[in-house]
A and B are shown apart, each in its own frame.
Chain A
Amino acid sequence: MERNLTLIALFAALIAALGLVPQFTLAFGVPITAQTMGVMLCGTILGAWRGGLAALLFVALVALGLPILAGGRGGLGVFASPTVGFLVGFPIAAFVTGWLMQAMSRMAVLPAAVIASVLGGMVVLYIPGTLGMSATLGKTIPEALALNLPFMPGDLIKAVLAGFVTSAVARARPDSLLSRA
């Protein structure tokens, strides 16, 4: 009980800490941050329920007014801005990533974590993300999806990195990889 609570709180804090890492810019000028990698790690390391709850705690604290999104943003204004769908999608993405990780328990950690991160942290996250953009900007779904296109290469990189981090954690702390416990 205590362990679940502290793991959820600490991984929510990890999402925030990764968002504070200075962002780097891809060749064609799209900024990417490590924040969504934190969401993927919640799933690949903590599993579906704990990972989803950690991301949910993070999103709830953004709403309450903590400046914990990449670039020091936060507050209720974020929920009225075009990126709202990605934010509310964080818990769903972490949950699905964790669920897939658990479902692929026969596979080695590295490929399983990469596949789970791509499907859960990218494909699933882009559904609410695109819907939110479509609603706030008054665009059709395909138009909104096109607006998100420049961010996909960065997210793919993050999914692969999340896989490597998960596999390193699996070697260093095999007992803490709860998605495989």
Chain B
Amino acid sequence: MLSLTSPVRTPFHPWPVGLKLALLALITFAIFLSDSLAVHAGALVGVALAYALCGRVFTRDALRLMRPIWIFVALILAWHLLTSEPELGLRIALRMVVLVALANLVTMTSRLSDMIALVTRLLAPLRRIGVNPAMIGLAAALFIRFVPVLTEKGAHLAEAWRARSPRRPGWRLAVPVTLLALDDAEQVAEALKARGGVPNE
């Protein structure tokens, strides 16, 4: 399965993930505190400049990721034109666009393995209450392996259905797909046990 990390190298890729996340949290917090339109507009210019540094291909991918947001932007602008508070509407819309764009910038310039490494490090103290961070890493790995497996098996089931029926398979496929998930889970559990179980470091 592909992650959302961009294959296009940008100046932000080498930055440590922790630093990017801390900056994102800080800027998000600051924008929620501010109610000046100038600050919001300035933030938009800043984010646009950051994307400009990353090039056209990268920005096009980022815009694709932002597609669901524009409906909400249109909705908010229309709403506040009707209630005659266009400035408030503009501020809310700007805040949304800036924060989503900034968060996507962090996701697209950070490798999945770096993210998982950071989370495992942050969760290390959980060991004291009996949670094994290695287990979380293993669960993530199983997840990443099995999403394409389940999707592919689901596609086979849909094909088999279409070979037999002119109607669309629809929700009925959810039953065999759920059974497949259950059966795969039992088998992988047996396989893990046979190989010595979950590593305990």
Whether A and B are associated in the same complex: the answer reads yes
Query: At the interface with chain A, which of B7-15, B37-45, B52-60, B135-143?
Result: B135-143
- Residues of B close to A67: CB separation below 8 A: 1-4
Beta-carbon contact of A161 and B96 below 8 Å:
no
Beta-carbon contact of B100 and A1 below 8 Å:
no
Q: CB-CB contacts of A58-78 with B at 8 A, as 1s and 0s? A: 101100111110010111111
Interface flag for A107 (CB, 8 Å): no
Interface flag for B78 (CB, 8 Å): no
Interface flag for B88 (CB, 8 Å): yes
Query: At the interface with chain B, which of A79-87, A95-103, A109-117?
Result: A79-87
* Given A2-B198, A34-B171, residue A169 in contact with residue B182 (CB < 8 A): yes
- Which residue on B lies nearest to A158, using beta carbons? B171
Interface flag for A26 (CB, 8 Å): no
Interface flag for B186 (CB, 8 Å): yes
Beta-carbon contact of A77 and B103 below 8 Å:
yes
- Residues of B close to A65: CB separation below 8 A: 3-5, 107-108, 110, 112, 115
Interface size on A (CB < 8 Å)?
56
* Given A34-B171, A81-B96, A137-B76, residue A16 in contact with residue B139 (CB < 8 A): no
Which among B102, B116, B147, B174 is the interface contact of A165 at CB below 8 angstroms?
A: B174
- Which residue on A lies nearest to B150, using beta carbons? A17
Which among A17, A45, A73, A83 is the interface contact of B65 at CB below 8 angstroms?
A: A73
Q: CB-CB contacts of B164-197 with A at 8 A, as 1s and 0s? A: 0000001101110111011111101110110001
The distance in angstroms between the C-alpha atoms of A60 and B139, with both chains bound, is 11
Which among B88, B154, B197 is the interface contact of A21 at CB below 8 angstroms?
A: B154
Instruction: Give min CB distance, B63 to chain A, whole Å.
Output: 12
Q: CB-CB contacts of B130-158 with A at 8 A, as 1s and 0s? A: 00000100111011101101110010000
Which among B68, B154, B179, B188 is the interface contact of A73 at CB below 8 angstroms?
A: B68
Q: CB-CB contacts of B12-29 with A at 8 A, as 1s and 0s? A: 000000000000100010
Which among A41, A60, A79 is the interface contact of B178 at CB below 8 angstroms?
A: A41
Could you list which residues of chain B lie within 8 angstroms of chain A, going by C-beta atoms?
1-5, 24, 28, 65-66, 68-69, 72, 75-76, 88, 92, 96, 99-104, 106-108, 110, 112, 115-116, 119, 135, 138-140, 142-144, 146-147, 149-151, 154, 170-171, 173-175, 177-179, 181-186, 188-190, 192-193, 197-198
Could you list which residues of chain A lie within 8 angstroms of chain B, going by C-beta atoms?
1-3, 5-14, 16-18, 20-21, 24, 34, 37, 41, 45, 57-58, 60-61, 64-68, 71, 73-83, 136-138, 147, 161, 164-165, 168-169, 172-173, 176
Report 27 cross-chain contacts, Cβ distance below 8 Å, ordered by A residue: A1-B198, A5-B142, A6-B184, A10-B188, A13-B142, A14-B150, A16-B143, A18-B174, A20-B151, A34-B171, A37-B171, A45-B182, A60-B119, A64-B115, A64-B140, A65-B108, A66-B3, A66-B112, A76-B104, A76-B107, A77-B101, A82-B72, A137-B76, A137-B96, A138-B88, A168-B175, A173-B179
